[in-house]
Amino acid sequence: MMCGDGINDSPALTSCDIGVSVNTGTDIAMDSSDVILTNSDLMSIVKLMDISKRTIRNINQNLFWAFFYNFLMIPIAVGVLKPFGISINPMFASFAMVLSSITVILNALRLKR
């Protein structure tokens, strides 16, 4: 990660994995960076890293819940488990898919806290 605010930082901002510029920097630095801090406080980089870690964790949780609902409900709705006496009306399975979407949305909204 590279943080910069001037013209001489632009090549480094474009070539690094994550380029961070401050909003008081030049337009060239802001155009070549991936993230623009809204203030000139460099401690915002710590907040940026914290938010990015929580976002990745949240994406993994959402993928788990989406695959869990799909893995569980689709075979039951199709009737794969009917010989074992387990079946469900496809409308209830589609309702479970709606619950899956609601779970993912509510989990993603937790990032706003």
- For 32-71, how does the pLDDT look when each residue is reduced to its tens digit (9 = 90+)? 888 888 887 888 889 889 999 999 999 999 999 888 888 8
Retrieve residue 29's tokens: 């630095």
Q: pTM of the predicted model, to two decimals?
A: 0.71
Q: What is the pLDDT of residue 4?
A: 82
Retrieve residue 4's tokens: 């910069």
Retrieve residue 52's tokens: 């990015």
Angle formed by the axes of helices 90-109 and 44-78, nearest 10°? 170
d(CA 12, CA 1): 9
Edge-to-edge strand ranges of the sheet holding 2-4: 2-4, 19-22, 35-37
d(CA 37, CA 33): 10
For residue 33, what are the CA distances in angstroms to 11, 58, 85? 10, 24, 58
